[in-house]
Structure 1
Amino acid sequence: MSTTAADTASAVATASANDTALDTATTSVLAPTSSSDAVDANAVTEDEAALYDRQIRLWGLEAQTRMRTSHVLVWGFTGVATEVIKNIVLSGIGTLSILDPDTVRDEDLSAGFFWRQDDVGASRVADAPVDRIRALNPLVKVQGLTDQSILQGSPEEVAAKVKQLGVDVVVACRGTKLELTTLNDALRLSSTKFYATSSFGFGGYIFSDLGASHDFITERVLPPSSSSTQPEKKRIKNRTTFVPLSHSLDMTWAGIEARKIKRLRLAPGLWTVWASWEAQQHGGGGGGELREVAERMMVERGVDPSLVFEAQGVDRQAWFQTYAASTSTRGEFAPTCAVLGGLLAQDVLNALGGREEPITNWLILDAMGSGNATLHTVGSAVSTQAGVAV
């Protein structure tokens, strides 16, 4: 995770350097690209090669080409979405669609740096914020959408609409448990990669489903051979099998020895996310109710709650009280959004470029407790095959 954290810090620093561009962006309207303006989808232009020179050196021309021909749809213009958008636009994806039917509120300004005070009351994806995003990288096509019917309908209908738009990745930053699982199942039919994410006070989560089969390349540095003084790099092709969100949420640890479950160190935040979804269905969500729901879910899945809390040095009562307090405040905590959005953006770029091991399949950020981001593989069918040299 150290490389990811470094990349995240770099992206945040880059965004700070672009503050002036955000404030002085000119107004323009996204129009369909005419045939005379279209470029070869498989060719990187000289301007792009110059702009993305560092990235091409880092992960190769093939990966950069995949990214610059990709289409990412972000559902929900939240604080985490803001960070994801900034990073993937700066990195040079092809097209970005932002889907959000709501208007800007005062509290949205806490982590939404693409909006200004004058934008309060206007559409979240109005010309002004969208133009500020375009100013980060004019080579990326950016459009704001308000019609959520794109993601509504039967699974077959949603899959057809997403496929027609040419969307490669959907990043869901809003939605109930039912909405997220239904959308994920539909995207499976169109072979569209899916992420779900949200921050909650000082923490947050990322869920990823990159499909039944996701291939990626990693590089292994080998010691210098007897005939060379330089270390050698070996490219390894790997394949990971993911499961939909609905399958992951059905995971059970019943029958597994307590000592083995303890070694998994299942994060309290993982259960809190699941419990909050359940509580939302009944209009609840207070600290006491969340604790009750979370503990019941653990027991039903064969996990002793003490292995999640006391065994990891976490006061369960204080945990849920802090969670309830942090999620009841207006707005999002910008530092949490910066870290979570940076980690997610890096994984989206890696998934598009077919580089590096992806998040498999839950990442839980706990900035108020351990201060760590932990990975959890949840789902009996999730697996990674041994790599082969390429």
Structure 2
Amino acid sequence: MAQTLYFPLLLIALCSISECVQRQYHFINENKNWTEAQSYCREKYTDLATVDNMNDMIQLNKSVDANYRAAWIGLQGTNVYKWHWSSGDPVFFLNWASGQPYSGDNCAVMTNGKWFVGACTATWTFICYNMSRGLVFVNQTMNWRDAQSYCRQNHIDLVSVRNQNENQQLEKFINDSQTSGSSVWIGLFSDPWQWSDQSNSSFRYWKTGQPISQTNEHRAAVEQFSQGQWSIYMSNNTNNQFPFICHEDKLIVIQQNLSWSEALRYCRQHHVDLVSVQSVEMQYKVMIMVKLASTEAVWLGLRHSCALGIWFWVSGQTVCYQNWAPGNGTSEEDCEPTVRSGAVQSGGNQTWISRPETDQLNFICRNY
């Protein structure tokens, strides 16, 4: 039996939110080793495929137009373990108990508001999150991987905790749902895998029993007859010649300093449009992209209407999701001597700011 609680900081329920897929996937039906496939993708597209979430995984599977046993993607083994959220949220906040984390185990449980590492094979109850229902307590004991699968199949994912306020809300929810002091799985895990394009994506879609081991020579491949789930293969094994999947970024940072109107014209002539940010997920994509910028802020497709006193996206969408820095994004903008447009800060928390449209900044275009 599952209990739920509305958790506003985890929900993106404003207006109509479309699914956000950052990349276009291309299946290349040529057998190559992983290194050859990587070189091909970097020459023809952006890189070997990176996957951020189940939406991406669905699109990746749709890109495949042939029968195959396995196909390379961009995930490669390393010697460095990092903590990730199962949902793909960036790890900005940690709330470890004293003496935690220690090496050896790589999944996290929450007990009395503090986090502890636990063997991923141990069984605990767990918390999912759901876009419409919020937090969902699942009163069944499962290991971490099975709990993750349950949440992804029935809700969205295991819960992420992004700040102290969310941690306090989750602690209260757990105490209201079961006996105080009990441990529950949250979505935090550690692994040594890295994407070829250096993306921080924490999404994993391993087949049951995978990965059974990991070295610097291991690479991930999707398997068609496992519904696109992943297995590992040795990249230096001459028998491992597979087709592969490349990705092409849907967003691109243009490192030219242009006014907002010039940036808009450039994007529409060379790509599709200046980027619109309509969800937390798309904001995370933008946060990754702005690291490539050479200016302190980067133009978005945000425009202020002096006549109507509103902000709007040039794509025609309403500004539903918002990420303004304090004091920015008000309806009462100073329209003299020039109209204001919206930019995202390159540093700090990458929040949005209002700037005169004549400022010379880098900008982000979208390709699709």
What TM-score does the superposition give when structure 2 sets the normalisation length?
A: 0.24
Structure richer in strand, relative to its length: 2
Structure richer in helix, relative to its length: 1
